[in-house]
Each structure stands twice: as C-alpha cells, then as structure tokens.
Structure 1
Amino acid sequence: MPVTFDLHQLELPIQAAIDDFEQHADVNQILNQLRTLVIQFVEDLVACVIQQKLFCQEFLATLKTLAGKSAFRFNGYKKTSIRLLSGRSIRIMSPHFKPIAPKKRGRKSKKRKAKNGCHLGLTYSGFIDRTSILLSSSAIQAALLCPSFEIARQTLSSFGIEINVKTIQNLCRDLGTQAIRHRSEITLSERDYVDGRVLAVFMDGGRLRERIPKRGRRPVNQKRQGYHTDWREPIQIVIEWLNDDGSRDKNALPLYDATLDGIDKAFDMLESYLLQINVTKADKVAFCGDGARQYWKRFSILAQQLNIKEHYEIIDYTHAKQNLFEIVDKLPKKMGAKAISKTFDQWKNDLWQGNLNAIKRQIRGLIKSPKKYKEAMKKFKNYFEKNNHRMQYNTFREKGLPTGSGCVESAIRRVINLRLKAPGTFWKRETAETMLFLRSTLLCGRWNLMLKNILLANRNEWKHCH
C-alpha cells in the first residue's frame, strides 16, 4: 500500500526562511532552518513507512516465526517512541513480544516482575533500543572521538542532533553490550582470509584509572559515598596482514581490540580471533611485543594449541635497544662520551645481527667495577641470553617479518590514551570495557562492518564469516 505525503506543506516554511534571509542575510541561519525542516519532514515520512510496515500482516507473521525460535510470543500492539535522525521522539504503535512463561504449579506469586518484552519489529528494521542504527552510530562515534560525553552532545547539537548526555551513554552501553556478545566475530568479513598469508600479532599494555566505590557507610559530613581511583592495565591487541617484504598490507584492515579483564582474558580473546580467521591456514605468524614475561610464556602455548604451521616470537627492537642502554650506562665514565657512544653503536649493530656473544665479550673487557659488572651481566643474562631466539632481527627482516611493535604502541595511544587516560577521568569497569572495544573497532576501520553484522544478527540471518 503506497504511503501518501504532501510536499506542498514545505512551501510556506521554506518561503518564510527565504524571507528571513532577505532581512538578516545570514546563510548559516537559513541553512539551519532548512535543515531542521527537511529532517523533520523526512522523519515524519519514514515514521509513516515504518508504521505501515509494522501493521503489515505478512511482516507480523515473519516476526512471530522469528520470535517463536527464541521462546517469545506476540503480545499485541503497544505505544512506544522511536528516534530516527535528529533525536526527536516520535510515537508509533509497535508489535510487542514477551517471553513465554514456563508453566508452574502451586500458588501464583503476587510480586511485580520487571518488564522483559521487546519490540522485535523495530529491532528487525534496524533499531537498537528504539533508536535507528544511523542515529546511534553518529552519537556513539561522537562520544568515542570527543574528549567527553558533554562535548559529544555539543558537537551533535551543532549538526542538528539533539540528545542529552544520558541518552548518549545509554546508546554506547546498548550497542557495546550487543556487539560484545559476538566480540571475536562481529567485526569480521569474508575478506579476512589468511590462506598462505603472513600474520603479525602484537600485544602490549596501556594505563587507565578505574572508579571503584568505597565500601561501608557514607560519612555523615559527605554528600557522596566516594570512590577509589586505582590504575589498571588494559591489554591492547593488534592483528595485521603483511606483504612479502614485511610491510603492512594496506588492502587488509587490521584488527584491534582491548580488554581490562587481565592477561588471561586477553589471550582468550586473541585465541578466539585467530580461530575465527582460521589461523592454521596462515603461512607464518609472528608474535611481537616488549620483553614482558607474561606475554612470552603464553605465546608458544597458544601457537601449539592452534596448530600454527610456523610461528616466530619477536621482541621489539626499540625495547631491546633501551635495555641494552642500561648496560651501556654501566661502562666507566673515563672512557669518554665519544667512545661510549661508539661502543653503543657497535652493540646495536651486533644486536641486529644476533651476535650477542660479541657484546658479552666486550662487557667483560670494558667494565672493571665488580659491582657494575655484576649488574651488567645480570641484565645481559636475564634479558638478552634468555631471549636470544627472539632477537634475530636480521633474520626476521630477511624472512619478511616485523622487527618492531610500533603499531601496537600507536594503537594504545589512539585507543586508550587519547580518551580513556585523560587527566581526572575515572571509569567504571563495564563502561571502560565497552569503550575499549568500540574505540578499537572504530579506529581500525571496522565500524561499518560491525553495524552491518549487528543488523543481520538482529534478523537472525547473521552467520559466521568463516
């Protein structure tokens, strides 16, 4: 059945805006007026189209079939409100579904039960919590990219979207909760294949402050309970597809994710991602990071569990040089700055070539102080000798493998530091986890993939990419 609409209703408001422009001659004002008029007209038109679709008996039959698969039943039409483009609330009638209550014997409870129904027709049509995915996406991206939710609200307002801070926060929570259910799959596509490819996996930790409420009663002389602001270490994961020369394949989107739930959860996430992209078909996999033992004792175990054909463990060359400088700092000052600098350059070259024995011999020959010699050798044995196989940088370069983990350092800065590590910012754990996932998805270029897969998931048509 066609939807009727009257374009003539726009004539008078448009003419009024034009007449106003002749008085004030402000192009920005007339643009704002016309934008508001057009958006409101489009919203009213689309609301009519949606309402007609929701009343369609064939569509209702489809919804009933879909609801039955999840043990929900049709509960009649109910009034509700939706948001489409501008944040304006529009009232419609929508088919409501509620869970099928299990049959129970005995007396019925008189306790009030929480509302647990859903408007399946809206969800099927591309809404998240009665807000269009288009509007949700705009609001959430503003919240992710702006320094605060309030600045996000102001930015959205300048584009004609009027929603308050609480609504923006709720949209972030709702979208994040829905996406995280399929965390290792929701951002993937059929193009994320690894057959015969070289993969690089990077992992490192960032910093943010968690907001933890204080226990006990609120002090009498204080209005609020108060909270602790302990530092936490979110773990950042980056997966990249490499070319034969070791450079990043610019035609393949990288994978970003981060979690605040500790190193074990981070490796569980990494394992899920690698399973989804079928890492066993990869030609080679390189695991890169700094010298933190918590990573290296798990990488080899993970490679065995996933039956990876050929894997390499690589300590970031820059981190290795920084640790090498700690030994250089033990050299006697009487050598002179020029000689020490020359020695450091030689050692960096030896480190690149994997010639650690040459460095060890020079440590013995140059450092005469027993105390400093002992400290230098302790550092050399614990860091360099134990990680010798992870420091064959020249060999790695020849094999087309990375020698540094700069991409994960960059990801930490962009995903964590620029938003979640802001001064005076403290996060509840659940909110921080949602923001870490959503910012990772947005900044690695997989945002639209996630939105597309969420829509398909809501229609119960979404299938695993692999």
Structure 2
Amino acid sequence: MTNKIEELQSKRKILFTRLTKVGDFRRGTISVNYRKCGKAQCWCAKEGSRGHGPQYIWSTKVNNKSVSKNLRMGPELEKYAGETESYRKFSELCKEMIKLNEELCNISLAIEPESEEELEAMKKKLPETIQEETQKEIETMLKIIFRARKLKGKDDLEALEMLIRTGMHKIGSRLLEKFLNSEEYISPSQVEVCSDGHPMKYIEEREKEITTVVGKIRLRRKYYYDSKCGKGFVPKDCELGIDGSSLSPGVRRIIGIVGSNRSFSLSEADISELSGLQINSKAIERNCHKLGKEVESYVNQLEQDNPSESNSIMYISMDGTGVPVLKTETAGRKGKQENGESKTREVKLGCVFTQIELDKNNRPERQENSTTYVGAIESSEEFSKRLYAEAQRRGIERAKEVCIIGDGAKWIWNIAEENYSYTGIFERAIQIIDLYHAREHYWDCARAVYPSYRKKQSKWAERRKRELDDGDVEAVIRAIKRLSPKNEEAEQVCKSTINYFKNNKERMRYNTFRAKGLFVGSGVIEAGCRSVIGQRLKQSGMHWSVSGANTIIALRCLIKSHRWEDFWEAKSAA
C-alpha cells in the first residue's frame, strides 16, 4: 500500500512540473469561416467557390454569454492559436491531476491494514500524527501573533481571540477527521442486513464532506447496496446521526437553538459571528423544520416528565394568538379585515405549571421551572388531545388539586368541560375565568353607557370591582340590568355582557378561589403567547405556512419547557 502511495505521489510531482511549463494560455476555440457576399457578378457566386476568406474567429463564454473576436492573420492569429492550444494542454493536465489526486486521497484515507500487526502500528501512530499537526498549527499561529505585535507595537486582543479560535477549529477538525477515519478495520466481507432482513453487498468506500462545530471534515464510510430493495446503505452515517444530512448533530443543535429564536436570515449572521461556521439561511430553515418534526415525535413518545408532587396544585391554562400566514392558508376563512378576509391563523397555546405553597404575602407562588408548553395551529379537538397528553406527562393524577384558567373563549371551556374523546379527564378541575379579563367586560358596559363621562365610568366600575372580587357575580349582573343604554349599540353591549357573566358565574367565585390560595389570573399563558409565539413568529414581514409555523412552535415549546438537553440525550441514545 505504501509503495502505491509513493508511486502516485511521484506521478503528481511530474504533473506539477508539466503544469509549470504550459506557459500563457487562454480559454476558447478558433474557427475558420468563409462567407459569400451575395453579389451575382462576384467570383464567390461561382459553383465550387467557398467564398471570401478565410476569416479566423476566436470565441469563448464569459458568465454564460458568448464572446467572440475576429483575428488578423499574422502575429495575432499565431498568438491566439498558441494560447488556446496551451489551454487545451492545461485542461487535460488538470483532469489527469484531479483523477490522480482523488485516487491518492482515497488510498491515503483508506489505508486498510493487511495484518493485525499493521493495524496496531496504525493505532499507535495516530496520536503521534495528531500531535505533529497540532504543533505545526500552533507554531503558525505564534508566528502570526508575534509578527502582528511587531508591526502594531501592541496586542490586539479581539484579533488574537479570533485567530486562536480559528486555529483551534482547524486543529479540532483535523483531530475529529483523523479520529473518525481511524476506526478499526471493518472487513468488506462483513454482512450487513437491511431493515427487511435482506443481506447487502459491500460496494466501496465513499467520502462525504460534513460540517461540524469545528469546521468541515471529510469522512470515509463503507457503502452497501441491497439489490432486492434497490437501496444503498451507509451504516456509519446512521451511527453518527448524519444519515441524509451534511451537518453534524452538534451543528444541527446550534441551528435549532439559534433558528428557533431568530429569523433564518439573522440566524445565518449570528451563527457565523458566534461559531465561525458559514451556513446559509435556507439550510438553517430546512434544518429547523426537520428538527421541529423530530421534536414533535419525541414529545409524543414521552411518558412522564417533571411529574407533579402529590401535594401540588396543577394549573392548566390555554389561550389563542394570531400568527401571520401565507394567503393560501386563509383561503375561505372569515377574518377581521375590512373586506372580511383573514391574514392570520390562530395558534392554540397551552401550559401546565404547579404550585405548592404561598409566598410571604400569602399569595400563590408558581414552582420554579415547573411551566411546560404545548401548542400548534390546529382544531380544538386536536389541541385537546395535545393538552391532555401534556397534563398526563406532568402527572395530573397525582396532583392534590387541578385548576383550569383561561379567558372567555368558548373553545377553552369546551375543552375543559368536554375534552372531546377524553370526556371527564378534567371533571375534577376548578374552572377559573381570568379576573382581569372579566373586569374588562363590565368596563365595556361603563364605556358604552357613559361614553363622555369618565368619572361616571370609573365610579360605576369601581363598585363592580368590589362585587366581583367578593365573588358576587349576581350583584354585577343586577347592576348592568339597571343601566339605561342610550342607543342600540350600548344596549347590545349590555345584553352580551349579562350573558357572559351568567354563563361563567361559577368560574368567577374569586373570593372562594383566593381563600383556597389559588391563582385567579392567566398571566402565565398570556406571557407565553408573547414569549413562546410572538417573539419568533410575529415579527415584521413574516408570513408562515401552517406546517412551517407548527415546526417552529414545537421547537420553541420544547426549549421553553426545559426539555432541550433531554431531547439531544435521547437522540444520542437512540
């Protein structure tokens, strides 16, 4: 094997020498043209005449556009003819050089031991080789550092940091490449089988360039083929988690965390600045969507995660928030625009958190890091299944008390009372309408009935506040009935508000809820709508597909639920 490498290296030296002797060259070809002027009396019109000429034309392509030039006979023609011939020789030598180098690379990367003794020798030599390359890289960096200090007369810390980071990445990539390509020799005769149990035939070793957190490396892998399935298989790609991808798991992790927080175009710049990796925004977008689907599958398979304690109170809260989508995603849907169209789709977001004790002021206190999120653009029925699964993961059966908090949206209380195919799972839950949302309703009446009298509005609403805080919903209803609306619009506001309080009165016994030490506000889920959804999916100029939005929502819910590390550990263990 060593002799073969030396032979190829010798041929390469000869090719390099021949390349240096090619001389000046230019691309293109020279053609010889004859033309007929079209005059009947001219000799070129006679039969057998080729026409006026010869005319020598040099032509080539620049940026996919044809470029040509008429050449004068004599020195100019001879010069162009010589240069184009030199280019032809240069091209042939380059092709030969590429072929030879590929053969050399394949052999040098795939030096396979012919005996156990040779294998052991290769293993022992690897650390020595890596140390030599590391030493060379460090020496190169030091030369640059001392040269810069001499020129500037001082140290530039920022430049030094970035230089050393680049150098360390170069060392790291070489170390990683050599380590991954130095595995013990696997005999091509080893039998690999596909998922259907068919034996696969070893074909050859193939290289693959992948981007890692320390830079690009070339990976050597064994390629097998299953003739029955008509598919190829690379065991090493599956083992390393790079099957169907040119990005390492570490890079995909970086993409996931950055791309879930920033727009894809800004993520490209952030990743470049923070890690030195050049990954375009489209690749970031594709990988974020792919990760989002993997996250969805992972969460669905979770059995129990961060389960509640037996003495805890579990809160389940829901809300909806609009996300801008592509026009095709709102076709046929009624919206709030003047023309009746919609520009958004509603994301249903749910959260689960727990409370064990009260704070020093006897107010309910949420357990630290106890909040987990689920969400998607989907129907209420589908979302109820998602939320139910999360409540189960969090140990709803173990909780001392279960509370459902939300605003007045009908779909929230449909889930709470019916929970669709899971009827009764929340039947023991205490249902609480967000206090601040309830207050907004009687304020709507005050503004409608006393539109020009702010003092009257405040005085009337203040009395309703005391009644509502005391859980006396009936008193609030009676007060609204006593109002004298001056127009049909105000009358309609009062009627709808009365119905609202009647339909939700048992969810507004705030004196009882507070006596039990319970939360009466939906601040956690409202903040979640802003932090989990709004900060990433509602930026200026964004328009999502439903599937694209859902993958990013899945990513953000996982991260905000403190499951990011667990997700990657599960992927590594798979």
TM-score by length of 1: 0.80
Structure 2 residue corresponding to 1:344, chosen from 461, 481, 492? 461
**Offset of residue 101 of structure 1:** 4.6
Once residues 200 and 212 of structure 1 are traced to their aligned partners in structure 2, the CA distance between those partners, rounded to angstroms, is 36
Q: 1:11 to 1:326 in 2, by over 3 A?
A: closer
Partner in structure 2 of residue 106 of structure 1: none
The alignment status of 1:50 with 2:180, answered yes or no, reads yes
- Matching residue's letter, 2:536: R
Partner in structure 1 of residue 393 of structure 2: 276
The alignment status of 1:178 with 2:287, answered yes or no, reads no
Could you say what secondary structure the match of 2:218 adopts?
Answer: strand
Structure 2 residue corresponding to 1:436, chosen from 553, 556, 560? 553
**Offset of residue 50 of structure 1:** 2.3
Structure 2 residue corresponding to 1:241, chosen from 354, 367, 385? 354
Could you say what secondary structure the match of 2:538 adopts?
Answer: coil
Structure 2 residue corresponding to 1:311, chosen from 409, 418, 429? 429
Residues 253 and 445, structure 1, Cα contact 8 Å, conserved in 2: no
The alignment status of 1:80 with 2:208, answered yes or no, reads yes
Q: 1:119 to 1:295 in 2, by over 3 A?
A: farther
The alignment status of 1:261 with 2:388, answered yes or no, reads no
- Matching residue's letter, 2:348: I
Q: Deviations over 1:238-278 (max 9, x none)?
A: 1112223332100x431112201232221121122223334
- Matching residue's letter, 2:207: K
**Offset of residue 328 of structure 1:** 1.8
Q: 1:98 to 1:200 in 2, by over 3 A?
A: farther
**Offset of residue 70 of structure 1:** 7.2
Aligned residue pair count:
421
Once residues 97 and 183 of structure 1 are traced to their aligned partners in structure 2, the CA distance between those partners, rounded to angstroms, is 33
Residues 448 and 485, structure 2, Cα contact 8 Å, conserved in 1: no
Q: 1:412 to 1:74 in 2, by over 3 A?
A: farther
Partner in structure 2 of residue 294 of structure 1: 411
Q: How does 1:352-431 map to 2 (within 5 A)?
A: 352-367=469-484, 369=486, 371=488, 374-375=491-492, 377-431=494-548
- Matching residue's letter, 1:292: A
The alignment status of 1:135 with 2:263, answered yes or no, reads no
Residues 363 and 376, structure 1, Cα contact 8 Å, conserved in 2: no
**Offset of residue 398 of structure 1:** 2.2
Q: 1:70 to 1:194 in 2, by over 3 A?
A: farther
Could you say what secondary structure the match of 2:354 adopts?
Answer: strand
**Which moves more between the two structures, 362-371 or 127-136?**
362-371
Q: Deviations over 1:329-356 (max 9, x none)?
A: 244569x543431221121121121102
Residues 327 and 379, structure 1, Cα contact 8 Å, conserved in 2: no
Residues 313 and 400, structure 2, Cα contact 8 Å, conserved in 1: yes
Q: Deviations over 1:154-179 (max 9, x none)?
A: 11111212211122122212222222
Q: 1:376 to 1:176 in 2, by over 3 A?
A: closer
Could you say what secondary structure the match of 2:350 adopts?
Answer: strand
- Matching residue's letter, 2:409: A
**Offset of residue 69 of structure 1:** 6.2
Residues 287 and 313, structure 1, Cα contact 8 Å, conserved in 2: yes
Once residues 420 and 207 of structure 1 are traced to their aligned partners in structure 2, the CA distance between those partners, rounded to angstroms, is 10
Q: How does 1:163-174 map to 2 (within 5 A)?
A: 163-174=279-290
Structure 2 residue corresponding to 1:41, chosen from 145, 162, 171? 171
Greater relative CO (CA pairs within 8 A, separation 6+): 1
Structure 1 residue corresponding to 2:345, chosen from 224, 228, 232? 232
Partner in structure 2 of residue 449 of structure 1: 566
**Offset of residue 39 of structure 1:** 1.0
Partner in structure 2 of residue 154 of structure 1: 269
Q: Deviations over 1:180-226 (max 9, x none)?
A: 2233345x865434544221111111111222559xxxxxxxxxxxx
Could you say what secondary structure the match of 2:408 adopts?
Answer: coil
Once residues 13 and 450 of structure 1 are traced to their aligned partners in structure 2, the CA distance between those partners, rounded to angstroms, is 40
Could you say what secondary structure the match of 1:402 adopts?
Answer: coil
Q: 1:189 to 1:264 in 2, by over 3 A?
A: closer
The structure number with the bigger radius of gyration is: 2
Residues 207 and 221, structure 2, Cα contact 8 Å, conserved in 1: yes
TM-score by length of 2: 0.66
The alignment status of 1:203 with 2:318, answered yes or no, reads yes
Could you say what secondary structure the match of 1:182 adopts?
Answer: helix
The alignment status of 1:320 with 2:438, answered yes or no, reads yes
Once residues 139 and 495 of structure 2 are traced to their aligned partners in structure 1, the CA distance between those partners, rounded to angstroms, is 84
**Offset of residue 386 of structure 1:** 0.6
Once residues 481 and 448 of structure 2 are traced to their aligned partners in structure 1, the CA distance between those partners, rounded to angstroms, is 12
**Offset of residue 99 of structure 1:** 7.5
Which consecutive residues of structure 1, in runs of 5 or more, have no partner in the other structure? 103-112, 215-227, 460-466
- Matching residue's letter, 1:313: Q
Residues 194 and 226, structure 2, Cα contact 8 Å, conserved in 1: no
Once residues 473 and 268 of structure 2 are traced to their aligned partners in structure 1, the CA distance between those partners, rounded to angstroms, is 56
**Which moves more between the two structures, 263-272 or 357-366?**
357-366
Residues 73 and 100, structure 1, Cα contact 8 Å, conserved in 2: no
Residues 282 and 308, structure 1, Cα contact 8 Å, conserved in 2: no
**Which moves more between the two structures, 417-426 or 18-27?**
18-27
Residues 72 and 98, structure 1, Cα contact 8 Å, conserved in 2: no
Which consecutive residues of structure 2, in runs of 5 or more, have no partner in the other structure? 1-122, 330-340, 359-363
| Identical-residue share of aligned pairs (%) | 20
**Which moves more between the two structures, 366-375 or 340-349?**
366-375
Partner in structure 2 of residue 218 of structure 1: none
